[in-house]
Chains A and B, each alone.
Chain A
Amino acid sequence: MYPEYMNESLEKVAKSRNKRFELEKSGEPVFPPMNAEEREQVLNKFHPDYKAEARRKIHIGQNKGEKLTTEVADMLESHSRIKPELFDLTQPEYETDILIIGGGGAGCAAAIIGMENGAKSIISTKLRLGDSNSMMSQGGMQAAVTSQDSPTTHYLDAIGGGHFDNKPDLVRALTEDGPEVVKWLENLGVVWDKNEDGSLQVLHGGGTSRKRMHSCRDYTGAIIMRTLMDVVRNHPDKITFLEFMPTVELILDNKGRCAGGILYNLETEEYFTVKAKATIITTGGYGRLHIRGYDTTNHYGATGDGLVIAYRAGAKLLYMDSVQYHPTGSVFPEQIAGFLITEKIRGAGGQPLNKHGELFVFPREPRDVESSAFIRECLERNNGVETPSGRLGVWLDSPLIEMLQGEGYINKNFPAMHRQFIRYGIDITKEPMLVYPSLHYQNGGIEINERCETNIPGLYVAGETSGGVHGRNRLMGNSVLDYNVFGRRAGKYAAKYVKSVKLGPLTLEHISNYENELKKAKIKTDRIAPVLLPSYTPEDVRKRQLTAHYQGTLR
């Protein structure tokens, strides 16, 4: 239930609805889309990335001297969790062809395709298999399938959305593999939304010029992720998954090739050594670092672990200055602040409105532009709605969808969203949602090529933790596609690579070297990374946590 004081604004939204319905029906854009200059203007002034303190110089490692997102630079300038001298690398506890770090969508896809190409793998995952942002994607997956669309049109949309910074080879791989991925997933048993004749249902997303969003109601990620997990579980002889066992450092061999990792059992606090001919990092994003203090749509484990372990081993990062804020994070009620409200809502005709019930932006600009326009509407124009806890938001008019698509459409196509709000007495078929940008996606990451190779031989990266695919801004539906396309590619190329590689003696020397670099750069810090888990312990509880020396290393 919305508090009474919001009624006046809610009435204005209801009052303007018929007019906006006619506008939507006319086929013309309901609000003029921005041109290049207008986009640049609103981004420069209002996108959180463009604030001076949002970025800072990093003093060590491959990207030394470059400006990175402040929280990322902090995380990278940190100490390891381990003392290298305590490990006997000649006696690894596990040996395998491929070590896959991260059990989300990219990790599972890599394991499956790796297996089909003859490679056995171990998946090291911090939480349970499938606990990932992949599980949470709601709206859908882009792929150019319809006759009026083409992979090259998809290419143009993606590269324009990314401000033309995307690596062309990666965008080609992404868009060209798209249709094949749709089929691959269906063959594994993913239930796509389809029409009677078997054709795939498609919708628009922000920044798309063609309708190419494929979905599984609004549980797209959950359906795909559970299918991939099920495949993994059907091959216990080829794929081993170790849950609550994150990888906290990489291992190299004497020739600088990646040769596995050090795993940490979160529950028993033991460390284990995995020797692997190739390693694939699929650890996902970093939303739980709460960059710029923002709430996040991300899952509990999204702390950017892969970035720091790869960086210590000498990997190069790309576009690590760019953060994606999803335009429509929930701001009311307080219990679901920051939660994702799928872009599919706008794809189906939902409109963002200010407190006067007026349109103020084209509903489907690329995400960074749309988010900046929301922030401008609230902060500069004072047209936001304030919540009882002091947050600001704009309306996202969902009842309009029922008018446009027919009664019952929301219940059938947005069961997750409907459920999320009805728990708090808000029926989104009758009332709009209140939204504000929420920290959503890591645009940059570890630099890869179209074979998912990095600058370290034997180290492959796929999914959100990689950089270059999306330039400096990802479009909706391209991340689900990303983890499938590049997860599959990583599995394929790593499996090929392991057939010929012969590893030399293993080493953790890069960890000691990194410590020396920290010292040389005169960085004094008690930060330890990978972060592993965020802490939501209240300050006064922390003040009482006075154990002098923790046996465990988690806290």
Chain B
Amino acid sequence: MATKKPAKKMPVKGAKAKSAKKTTNKEMVTVFIMGKAHKVPAEATIMGAIEYSGYQIIRGAGCREGFCGACATVYRLPDDYKIYTGLACTTLVKDGMWLSQLPAIPAQRPVYDINKIEANVATFQKLYPEVFRCVACNTCTKACPQDLEVMDYIQAAIRGDIEKVMDLSFDCLSCGMCAIRCPAEIVQYNVGLLARRLYGKYLTKESKQLKKRIKEVKEHKYDKEYQEFMKMKKENLKKKYYERDIE
């Protein structure tokens, strides 16, 4: 980032539709979007660079903040044999970057009834038998833009350690980078999702207080006070609000 202030405002993210304007007095780099060269600001994210170059994204943008996984992107860098993976919304461009977005990830996903499966290893064997083909090559982990320990959670699934799968896959965005790189053709993110649902439904202790509160509501415990509040004049309600105690 620039260290002096104030520099001229850059249309890096294109935050305002009308303010974006190509400028020449900023440091620029060349990126190859699907093979075609474009000059873009050096500080741009991949998504910013694609839009700066004039593309209207249809597939390949969602939340734009690193939560939805819609913008999976693969790229290579000059003089480097490696394939890199990243989210377009949070990865910065580099000079000479050759990039392509993945509009959708083909992935297997069986239909199942959460009420009719059990929280154990047999469920993985039945729904995702390919999990057991994992060769522990760690390519999935290297491909994860969230830096999750993907291979470790697949190994945990093989052992039937559902809590571990839940914990390690918790921040997964389902971008699909792991699945597209996996030599064993596993769809890791769907395995993680299944494990989280199994854990949430079957392996957490029940909250007694929650059960009690639901019962109270059903037995109309709060009806009277609701009616009172709903009928109350604005002035009185205001008074009550500003006088309420705070935990």
Contact = CB atoms under 8 A, between A and B. Distances in A.
9 contacts: A5-B3, A131-B68, A135-B67, A168-B229, A227-B197, A300-B57, A416-B171, A534-B17, A554-B56
B16 A538 contact: no
B67 A156 contact: no
Contact of A128 (B62, B171, B196): B62
A199 B207 contact: yes
B3 A533 contact: no
A230 B230 CA distance: 38
Nearest to B62: A131
Nearest to B167: A191
Interface stretch (A89-97, A273-281, A289-297): A289-297
Given A131-B70, A135-B62, A191-B199, 13 more contacts: A5-B4, A5-B5, A145-B210, A152-B229, A182-B210, A204-B247, A209-B247, A227-B197, A299-B63, A337-B13, A537-B56, A538-B14, A538-B22
A449 to B, nearest CB: 14
Interface stretch (A9-17, A45-53, A383-391, A485-493): A383-391
A164 B210 CA distance: 28
Given A390-B6, A416-B66, A538-B20, A267 B170 contact: no
Contacts of B12: 334-335
Contact of B5 (A211, A339, A388): A388
Contacts of B61: 127, 300
B89 to A, nearest CB: 9
Nearest to A36: B242
Contacts of B16: 290, 293, 295
Given A36-B242, A186-B200, A335-B45, A145 B213 contact: yes
Nearest to A389: B9
Nearest to A1: B1
Q: Which of B13, B21, B65 has the most CB of A within 10 A?
A: B65
B206 interface: yes
B213 A179 contact: yes
B10 A334 contact: yes
B114 interface: yes
Contacts of A299: 62-64, 68
Contact of A340 (B20, B65, B92, B230): B65
Contacts of A204: 247
B58 interface: yes
Interface in B192-224: 193, 196-201, 204-211, 213-214, 217, 222
Interface stretch (B75-83, B151-159, B179-187, B233-241): B233-241
A497 B64 CA distance: 38
Interface string A410-445: 000001100110011000000000000000000000
B156 to A, nearest CB: 15
A503 interface: no
A337 B48 CA distance: 12
Contact of A159 (B90, B112, B237): B237
B5 A3 contact: yes
Given A198-B204, A416-B67, A4 B3 contact: yes
B204 A192 contact: yes
Q: Which of B52, B64, B205, B229 gathers the greatest number of chain A CB atoms within 10 Å?
A: B64
Given A194-B205, A386-B6, A151 B63 contact: no
Interface string A530-552: 00011111111100010000000
B34 interface: no
Interface in A215-273: 216-217, 219, 221-223, 226-227, 230-231, 233-236, 244, 266-267
Contacts of B51: 536-537
A534 B240 CA distance: 44
Contact of B213 (A3, A144, A536): A144
Contacts of B6: 386-390
A210 interface: yes
Interface in A158-217: 159-160, 164, 168-169, 172, 176, 179-180, 182-183, 186-192, 194, 196-200, 204, 209-211, 216-217
A169 B247 CA distance: 26
B235 to A, nearest CB: 9
A190 B199 CA distance: 8
A188 B62 contact: no
A314 interface: no
Contact of B114 (A188, A194, A554): A188
Nearest to A128: B70
A235 B237 CA distance: 45
User: Closest 7 CB pairs between A and B?
Assistant: A189-B197, A198-B205, A536-B14, A160-B241, A541-B54, A191-B200, A536-B51
A371 to B, nearest CB: 17
A300 B64 contact: yes
B134 to A, nearest CB: 22
A267 B205 contact: no
